Structure 1
């Protein structure tokens, strides 16, 4: 079987461990890096000048990577996640609209053409979270508690298209949830936007059904869901990510390798543990 990686970082821990498992199983791993880099132990493939690989993993979100994924899909290749699903999640306005229309508990989100428009509008009545509308590396994500902070932020990023989300009081810990196929991983991370009320994270709540519903709504196979628990215990989704890093989660490379093989074939596959 031939597996293609669309990524500028084939040495990423999740991808490199997954590639090692696949190679050990006798499969070929080919790297297509839109920045023309390659990784040791894999071949560099020009996907549009040769027959497509059996499955591609789209671990990049740049315009060039998305264009490549779309071209491969037009040739009949299977891409995880699809170019359309990946692109949709880069637009936080569309993400929120799709989630809420599907009945998912997504935090209330408003869109503004420019951050300066938020500062020029009605005075804030409470804390909000301001994010770049378009998700990308080093995008804007900031908590704003009042007019002074808002005007200071707007002075630095006046023309940035943004979404404004309600800040929901919580215990100061974010729930980081990741899905690889049907496998769900979970961890707590101290929130960068809330003042932690608890020195240690609370017990994790089983959000498997919620995570899988997100995958169904957005057509995702490898994705992350960021959740906060409101004071009354209600889970609220604040972000969804296509193909996150899933660092430090034991079993994630095995789950990804199995997903790749199961996507190509009809017989469920279980792989041995990844080598340390």
Structure 2
């Protein structure tokens, strides 16, 4: 089989370990989407025969366009470009999740951070239901994700983020830990990490045995894949009390670092997808 990685970082730990598992019997290549084509994000061009399967570990416009071009020619891409793009739009993500009955945080979209105070009809934002969680609408590296406890904090953010399209969620009291659930081809992996809303930073990722998850959380993680058409993805869940899950984020093809068995699961998934095409 010929497996191709769409990524600028084929040396990423999970991809490198997966490549090492596959290469004794299969051909593994990589494409840096930023170096392919004629420079136009919507018009990539990679000549030659198709690979049996592509693993999309990139989210830039050029990477998505490249993945779509392979899909249009009949090649399987994990995850599909459309599913990957949907997970970058927090408005669309929340809408789909809630329509499907998933326990996703209630989310409201605002055209700009500067207009957020207008939700309460006051210029200074005093009557907003604090605390709030404010995030950039479009998920990307170094985007805005923060807790806002006061109008003063909201005004302070405006200096740098005034024109940023944002989504707003009411803050749900929790332990301060995110449950990181990763799924590869239906196999669930788990860890704990301090919330990115924590004042002292996220800190290290801590191991978490699947048996220590509340009842039903593994099934919930798998259900996300069915709803979003994802095969390799992450689900951030907080415990809203007594084991009640609340999904706060969904990521297409996250890093999944340090999870025993993750490279093996990814290699097996790639081969299954390639075999289906064959």
Could you state the TM-score of these two structures normalised by the residue count of structure 2?
0.87
Q: CA deviation at 1:155?
A: 2.2
Distance 2:45 2:14 in 1: 22
1:234 CA displacement: 1.2
**What is the RMSD computed on CA atoms of the aligned residues?**
1.9
The structure 1 residue matched to 2:59, chosen from 45, 58, 61, is: 61
Within 5 Å, which residues of 2 pair with 1:119-198? Answer: 119-122=117-120, 123-194=127-198
**TM-score, normalised to structure 1's length?**
0.88
Question: Judging changes above 3 Å, is the alpha-carbon distance between structure 1 residues 170 and 194 closer, same or farther for their aligned structure 2 residues?
Answer: farther
Contact kept, 8 Å, 1:115 with 1:157, in 2: the verdict is: yes
Q: Does 1:256 align with 2:266?
A: yes
Please state how far the C-alpha of 1:231 moved relative to its aligned partner: 2.5
Closer, same or farther: CA 151–121 of 1 in aligned 2, 3 Å = farther
Structure 1, unmatched stretches of 5+, are: 38-45, 267-276
* Structure 1 match to 2:14: 14
Residue aligning to 1:204:
213
> Could you tell me how far apart the structure 1 residues matched to 2:234 and 2:30 are?
23
Deviation at 1:171, TM superposition (A): 1.1
User: Aligned with 2:34: secondary structure?
Assistant: coil
Q: Report what 1:234 is aligned to.
A: 244
What is the rounded CA distance, in whole Å, between the counterparts of 2:207 and 2:197 in structure 1?
15
Call closer, same or farther: CA 1:201–1:261 in 2, change over 3 Å: closer
Q: How much has 1:195 moved relative to structure 2?
A: 7.3
Offset of 1:190 from its aligned partner? 1.5
Q: 1:102 aligns with which of 100, 108, 111?
A: 100
* Alignment-derived partner of residue 272 in structure 1: none
- Count of residues in correspondence between the two structures: 254
